[in-house]
Chains A and B, each alone.
Chain A
Amino acid sequence: MRAYDIVIVGGGPAGLAAAVAAKKAGAGDILILERDREMGGILNQCIHNGFGLHTFQEELTGPEYAGRFLAMARQLGIPCEIDTMVLEIGSDKVVTAMNHKKGMFRIRAGAVILAMGCRERARGALQIPGYRPAGIFSAGTAQRLVNMEGYMPGREVVILGSGDIGLIMARRMTLEGAKVKVVAERLPYCGGLQRNVVQCLEDYGIPLKLCHTVVDIRGRERLEGVTLARVDESGRPIPGTEEDYACDTLLLSVGLIPENELSRSMGVEMDRITAGPVVNESLETNIPGVFACGNVLHVHDLVDYVSEEAARAGENAARFVRGLLPECEGAVSVVAGRGVRYCVPGRIDITRMAERLPVRFRVDRIYKEALLTVRCDGKLVLHKRKKMIKPGEMEEILLPREKCLAQSGLRSIVIAVEEG
């Protein structure tokens, strides 16, 4: 069986950045396996700009951003197998994959980096009642059809869910001559970035209806219309608030789900909230030598954060295969306190942690004039005031190692919104 130091599953921005960083950190044989017909992951369909402001200090489109990392990978001589689907990973890190040239094959990996990205939540998961005609797409599928295949999913559009992809598609469909009638969001706040609300909806006069959902879908062959209704605090439609919209297309931008079927079946411990693996400070899962980064770990809103995180996973994987990553000793748990939905990483081995460890998290609703705190076994070690924090924007704190070391016998680190 052919053996590699590191096998990376997924050739999106996470996989590419992990590969580049691992190579630079001294890993030998690296292989990236990608199931699509090109490298770059979801970025290939994100032809709008706004990528790379953090990483390259300039505004790039998605394919340009991916192109930069692909060029680095090529320069470092990292092989990529496209059209290759990973079917299984054993807990012994034997990877089974398949493509149409080699058939099914097995390779042995010293370390594995999980970078499979995510898929979109579909209509079924929302249980929207009504008929099941053509014309209902997840926003990412529509984005692929428009930007990569050159086809219009429809002409009169309603969008359910205010995730970033939905917002971006509202603008994209408008530019292509479609009429986007409304974006409806069940929650009292927008799911996507504020800049996308301004640049993709407001600039085009597209209304955003908060606290609204689709309660009926009409049309037997092709979609003919949907009914929106206002929802109460518990998310239930309020009778009497129904409004009909004629449309031939419904785009759903109602959340992303990390693609962790492979991780689950190899025995990786999962987090119920992120639907991604539980990782430690080194972005290593409960299986030593198996790392995770990017959208498979938790859904990111900016690719720059994906690249940064993935680079750390790559470096740690390289240290692991070179025997430089000390064995993990008892870990401190990082706990989501009041107002915080989840934190990544969920565990920290202080002896292995960096001077300043980025911890990322999301809050559970909008908070104004918020006080974010970090407490080590109750003791306040860090605080930060924010004018406004929202679930749609990922937060980050840099956890100082010396503060954690100072607390002897430290058991838990709690991140919370204490005021706001």
Chain B
Amino acid sequence: MMYDVCIIGAGVVGCAVARELSRYEVSACVIERCEDVCCGTSKANSAIIHAGYDAPAGSLMARLNVRGNERMEELSRELDFPFRRNGSLVVCLDAGEMPALQALYERGLANNVKGLRLLSGEEALLMEPHLQEGLAGALYAPTGGIICPFLLTIALAENAVVNGVEFRFNTKVNSIGRAGDHYLTETENGAVESRCVVNAAGVYADVFHNMVSEDKIHITPRKGEYCLLDRSEGTHVRHTIFMMPGRLGKGVLVSPTVHGNLIVGPTAADIGDKEGVNTTREGLEEVAARAALTVKDLPLAQVITSFAGLRAHEDGHAFIIGEPKDAEGFVDAAGIESPGLSSAPAIGEMVADIVRGRLHLHKKTDFRAQRTGILNPARLEMAERNELICREPAYGKIICRCEGVTEGEIVDAIRRPLGARSLDGIKRRTRAGMGRCQAGFCSPRVMEILSRELSLPVEEITKAGGASAIVTGRTKGGHVLESSRMGDNL
């Protein structure tokens, strides 16, 4: 079959493009090497919706950032994912560097960022009592926000599916080439033909770009490491705290997450390996040391997990969006490093618009813009919640004790469009396993539910697809145990 569009990569960018394209009469397919959406950089970042004062004035990056930021509220209502404008503060520690803060403020104004304000050190301390004393001043951006990057990406993807886009997982693209008037995308599961290709392959976007264009680009994976703290510490700061880069180097941010944890990071180290998402001792130590420059009394004993993500850093530090001159119909969304998450909705619109022009697409009349997320019973009143449990007892069974996730939510996560197929898939959709015990209690239960719902033996349930099975087989008496347990349940 010949598709109109083939999108490589199901990160936030690929999914935003898919959702925007699904507004049109189009046949589109997203090809992703992992088993789920949001398995690359989109799952490991700061989750900040930047206000838009960072990018050079007048740049594409600045324009898409501000546009993405502005759309986020409406989008979060339309697609039912959590987003909160908590505001951000860029803290300047050194009076000698105040002119640079002033310059940042002015760049923000030039980029059309709303509500920016320069604060004195005292004013900033009043807003955030845990800032280090003696700071010289701060830039306050009330439009800065926090989001759940998984739920954003999943919401975009689910909505795209409902509107007719196809997703192929566990399908790695090996090469792309021209075949007459269309493109041939060779994957490990056969070839895909399409009139247009959208290159949203994250840190691999240079590889695919360079297969079709002589105008080469180069992407360096730039690693960022993080610590995530228990929800008990989620109010240590209320705004997102950045440090103004300066004499003390580049800072790391400290921010509440939209789920109430505290996130601290990232570092920045250029590495050669596009798969190098390992954390390092040096990196984690650097996170702790740098965070302490701006925020005091950080309760680092309450770290529940640490992780790392890779920025797709293009040599010119610019978003490369559009068709290379020598490759009509091949649309790049490359070099999408921070603020890529914030810009994703606007990148989606821009790419879809280029494709629309190229293929002369028409709007669908039956586009469904609304999506409903997984029902969270904890948000219901007690009476409503009990009605729900009465109808569906699974909502009365808590599986993840730390985050209070019920069996009902987990089953929903599996059964909905593009449903979860692994522990990580469940975790990103429901938060089961994201809490302080880090899945110690709930993983055997979640495995059991996945096994039942997907009719797969427990041995085939994975952490994140591929060869990541959780258990390697039965114990010597395993079968006996199971039959005795079934007896219990009768």
Q: A residues near B, CB below 8 A?
A: 35, 38, 83, 85, 87, 98-104, 119-120, 122-125, 127, 129-134, 137-138, 140-141, 144-146, 148-155, 176-177, 215-217, 220-222, 237, 248, 264
Contact = CB atoms under 8 A, between A and B. Distances in A.
Contacts, number: 147
B475 A222 contact: no
Nearest to A126: B303
Contact of A222 (B283, B469, B479, B482): B469
Chain A: interface secondary structure?
Answer: mixed
A130 B475 CA distance: 29
A103 B469 contact: no
Given A124-B305, A222-B467, A138 B440 contact: yes
B471 A104 contact: no
Interface in B349-393: 382, 385-386, 389-390, 393
Q: Which of A98, A155, A177, A237 has the most CB of B within 10 A?
A: A98
A131 B458 CA distance: 24
Interface string B302-317: 0111110000000000
Interface stretch (B72-80, B151-159, B160-168, B274-282): B274-282
A152 B303 CA distance: 29
Given A132-B277, A149-B448, 7 more contacts: A100-B394, A122-B437, A145-B471, A149-B444, A150-B477, A153-B472, A221-B468
Interface stretch (B110-118, B332-340, B396-404): B396-404
Contact of B472 (A104, A125, A155): A155
A133 B476 contact: no
A217 B463 CA distance: 16
14 contacts: A83-B397, A100-B397, A101-B393, A119-B437, A123-B305, A127-B284, A133-B463, A134-B464, A141-B441, A145-B471, A148-B444, A150-B480, A151-B478, A221-B467
Contacts of A130: 278-279
A103 B481 contact: no
Contacts of A101: 393, 396
Contact of B284 (A38, A129, A133, A138): A129
B393 A129 contact: no
Given A87-B404, A103-B390, A134 B470 contact: yes
A148 B485 CA distance: 9
Contacts of B280: 129
B439 to A, nearest CB: 8
A132 B277 CA distance: 9
A38 B281 CA distance: 41
B453 to A, nearest CB: 17
Contacts of B467: 221-222
Given A222-B467, A222-B468, A120 B440 contact: yes
Contacts of A248: 472
Q: Which 9 residue pairs across A and B have the least CB separation, nearest first?
A: A150-B478, A100-B396, A124-B305, A103-B386, A150-B481, A134-B463, A100-B393, A122-B438, A151-B471
B171 interface: no
A12 B455 CA distance: 33
Nearest to B390: A103
B123 interface: no
Contact of B444 (A35, A141, A155, A215): A141
Interface in B61-109: none
B227 interface: yes
B325 interface: no
Contacts of A103: 385-386, 389-390, 396
A220 B396 CA distance: 36
Given A35-B401, A150-B478, A153-B472, A131 B277 contact: yes
B246 interface: no
B134 interface: no
Contacts of A124: 228, 303-306, 438
B278 A129 contact: yes
B132 interface: no
Interface of B: 227-228, 232, 275, 277-281, 283-284, 303-307, 382, 385-386, 389-390, 393-398, 401, 404, 436-441, 443-444, 448, 458-459, 462-482, 485, 488
Given A127-B303, A132-B307, A104 B393 contact: no
A257 to B, nearest CB: 8
Contacts of A119: 436-437, 440-441
A163 B40 CA distance: 36
A248 to B, nearest CB: 7
Contacts of A144: 444
A144 B470 CA distance: 13
A220 B471 contact: no
B450 to A, nearest CB: 13
Nearest to B282: A129
A85 B395 CA distance: 12
Contact of B401 (A85, A127, A155): A85
Contacts of B389: 98, 100, 103-104
A175 B189 CA distance: 42
A99 B398 CA distance: 8
Q: Which of A119, A140, A216 has the most CB of B within 10 A?
A: A119
Contacts of A87: 404
A141 B440 contact: yes
Contact of A221 (B466, B476, B477): B466
A119 B488 CA distance: 25
B469 to A, nearest CB: 6
Contacts of B398: 35, 85, 98
A153 B464 CA distance: 16
Contacts of A264: 232
A61 to B, nearest CB: 14
Contacts of B473: 151-152
A155 B473 CA distance: 9
Contact of B475 (A35, A120, A150, A220): A150
Contact of A104 (B228, B385, B488): B385
A125 B281 contact: no
Nearest to A116: B401
A149 B481 contact: yes
B474 A152 contact: yes
Contacts of B481: 148-150
B352 to A, nearest CB: 33
Contact of A127 (B227, B443, B466): B227
A146 B281 CA distance: 32
A134 B459 contact: no
Contacts of B393: 100-101
A151 B475 contact: yes
A196 B396 CA distance: 40
A400 to B, nearest CB: 38
A100 B391 CA distance: 10
Given A104-B386, A134-B469, A150-B475, A98 B396 contact: yes
B433 to A, nearest CB: 10
A377 B386 CA distance: 56
B463 A153 contact: no
Nearest to B441: A119
Contact of B459 (A99, A129, A151, A221): A151
Nearest to A265: B232
A155 B485 CA distance: 24
Nearest to B437: A119
B409 to A, nearest CB: 13
Nearest to A133: B468
Contacts of B382: 104
Contacts of A176: 475-476
A99 B395 CA distance: 9
Given A131-B278, A134-B463, A215-B281, A122 B440 contact: yes
B463 A125 contact: no
